[in-house]
Structure 1
Amino acid sequence: MIKFLLKVFLVCLIITSCSSETDIITESETPINVNLNRQQTGSSANDLLSASAFKKMIVEVAYIEGFKPTETALNNFKNFINDRTFKPEGVTFVEKSIENTGKTTYTLDEVVEIEKVNRTQYNTNNTIAVWVLFIDGKSSKDTNQGAILGTAYWNTSFVIYQETIQGLSDSTFEPNRSLLESSVIHHEFGHILGLTNHGTDLQSDHEDEEHPKHCIEQDCLMYWAAESSQGIGNMVSGGSLPTLDAQCLADLRANGGK
C-alpha cells in the first residue's frame, strides 16, 4: 500500500511540474494550456497548414486604440490563409482593442507581456488559434539603417509595428497603406508557417545565407526586405502584393499546405 501511494505521489508530482497554475485557463468547460501557444516559431507549421490536427483556425486581431489595420489588409490576410491552409471548418477573425500604453518603443519582452495580459484565444481540441498584435510604437531593435516592420516570435504569434507602417505609407511617393500592411502581415504569417527553413523543411536550396530563415529570391514574399523599412519599398513599388515563389510554395505543400 505504501509503495502504491508513493507511485501515485510521484505521478502527480510529474504532472503538476509540467505546468504551473498560471499556465492553465480553467474558466471554460475544458481547461486550456496556454503553453501550447508559446512554443518556438515554426513548430506548429504543420498544424496550421493541414487539417490533420486542427480543422478550424481562429485569428485574434489585437490592436492598440488608433492603430487598427485597414479592412482591406484584414481581408487580404484571410484570403492568404485560405489560399495556403486546409481548414475545412473555416477561418474566423475576432478583433480586440487594447488601451494605449503610453510607450513609443517596445522590446520584444514587452510585446510578449501585452499578449500574456490580453490574449483570449488559445488552441482547443479542434481549433488552432493565432494572435497578431498591431502596436503603437517602434521596435527597440530599429537602427539608423532601417526599421523593423514585424516580428514572428512564437508558434502562433506575431507583432506588426503599425505606427512605423503608418509613417511609411499613404503620403506622396509612399506605398498604399493596406498594401504595405498586407505585405508585412503575410510575411510574418509565413514565418509561423515555417518559412523559410523555419519549421517547414526545404524542398530545394533557397534559404538566404546572409539573412537566415528568408528566401533568397528577391521577388518572393519571404525575401528579407519584406519586414524592414530598408527594402520593403522596392517590393511593393509596382503596386501589387508580393507573393510566395514556387520554391516556398513547394515547401508548404510538402508540409501539408496548399
Structure 2
Amino acid sequence: MSRLLRILFLTLLLTFTACSKDDDSEDGGTPIAGNRLSTGDSARDFLSDENFDELVIEVVYVEGYRPTDAALNNLVQFIEERCHKSAGVELNVRSFPSPNIAEFNIQQVDSIEKVMRSQYNLGDKMALYVSFLDGKFEDDSDDSVVLGAAYRNTSFVIFEETLHRFSDGINEPDRFLLESTVFRHEFAHLLGLVNLGTEMQTDHLDTENGSHCNVESCLMNYRVESGINIPGMTSEENIPELDSQCLADLRANGGK
C-alpha cells in the first residue's frame, strides 16, 4: 500500500444528547459548561481578550506517545501570532496510561476528556484541551486516515499513533513538521475557520469539503492533508500558512 495516502483532518460538530447538568459541573461547583459547546462557538474568546486575556493549554498524552516539544512550542507560537492573550499562554503537559482502545470514536474521545481534563475557563483564563491517543480513528481505511479532530469548542484530539506511522520515514515528513501542521489546522478550526463561528469577509468556503478554504495553498484547505506527506517537507518554512482571506476573517473576529 502506498505511503502517500490521503490524510484527513476531521472537524466534527457534535451535540452529545446524553450530557446532563451533572456533566457540566465538577464537585465544588466549578462550571465546565463553557468548555462543552460546539466547534467554533468560542472562536472570538480565543481570538480576542474581551473575556479572557490568558490561555492555558492542557496537553494529555498516552504514555509513549508524547508529542514533540518543538511542535508544541510551534502551536504556542501560532496562538501568540493570531490571538490576543496579553497575560500569556501557559503549557501544561502530562501523561496517562493507555485506555487500550484500538479504534476510537468521538464519543470515546469525549469520555476520556471528561476523566482527564482538569483545566476549564475560569475568571480571565481560558482553557484549551488537547489529547494524544495511541489508537486510530474508527473510520480509517486503506485509502484515508484521520490524524486529528476538532470536536468541541475548546478541545481537539490527535491520533498520535497514526501520525507516527506517516512521519520520520523515507519520503515522509519529519514528525515535528507533520505534528505542527495538524496542530495548527485543528486549532484554526477552533478559531472558527472556515465559516465555523468566524464569519467570512469574502466567500472562500470549499462547499464540497465543509469548513475548509478553497485556496489550495492555505493551511485550511482540505488538500493540505494530501500535500504534506511528500518529499521536500524538510523545514519549518514548509508548514502551510493561513491565506489572506482566512487571516482577514480572524482579524474581523477580534484576532491579530
Which runs of no fewer than 5 residues in structure 2 stay unpaired?
Answer: 1-18
Code of the residue aligned with 2:72 in structure 1: it is: L
Distance in 2 between residues matched to 1:220 and 1:235, nearest whole Å = 19
Report the TM-score when normalising by structure 2. 0.88
Pairwise CA RMSD: 1.7
Deviations 1:86-127 (A, max 9, x none): 001001011121111122210111101100011000000111
Q: Work out whether residues 26 and 32 of structure 2, in 8 Å CA contact, stay in contact via their aligned partners in 1.
A: yes
Q: SS of the residue aligned with 2:146?
A: coil
Pick aligned residue for 1:195 from 193, 202, 208: 193
Distance in 2 between residues matched to 1:45 and 1:235, nearest whole Å = 34
Pick aligned residue for 1:164 from 162, 165, 174: 162
Deviations 1:157-216 (A, max 9, x none): 000110111000001111000000000000000000000001000011111011010001
1:239-250 alignment to 2 at 5 Å?
Answer: 239=235, 240-250=238-248
Distance in 2 between residues matched to 1:120 and 1:129, nearest whole Å = 9
Distance in 1 between residues matched to 2:27 and 2:101, nearest whole Å = 32
Q: Work out whether residues 225 and 235 of structure 1, in 8 Å CA contact, stay in contact via their aligned partners in 2.
A: no
Deviations 1:108-163 (A, max 9, x none): 11101100011000000111100001110110011222101100000000001101
Structure having the higher Rg:
1
Q: Match of 1:133? A: 131
Structure richer in helix, relative to its length: 1
Q: Work out whether residues 48 and 85 of structure 2, in 8 Å CA contact, stay in contact via their aligned partners in 1.
A: yes
Percent identity, please. 45
Superposed displacement of residue 232, structure 1: 3.4
Aligned length: 236
Pick aligned residue for 2:73 from 72, 75, 84: 75
Superposed displacement of residue 35, structure 1: 1.5
1:1-258 alignment to 2 at 5 Å?
Answer: 20-27=21-28, 31-226=29-224, 228=225, 230-234=226-230, 237=233, 239=235, 240-258=238-256
Report the TM-score when normalising by structure 1. 0.87
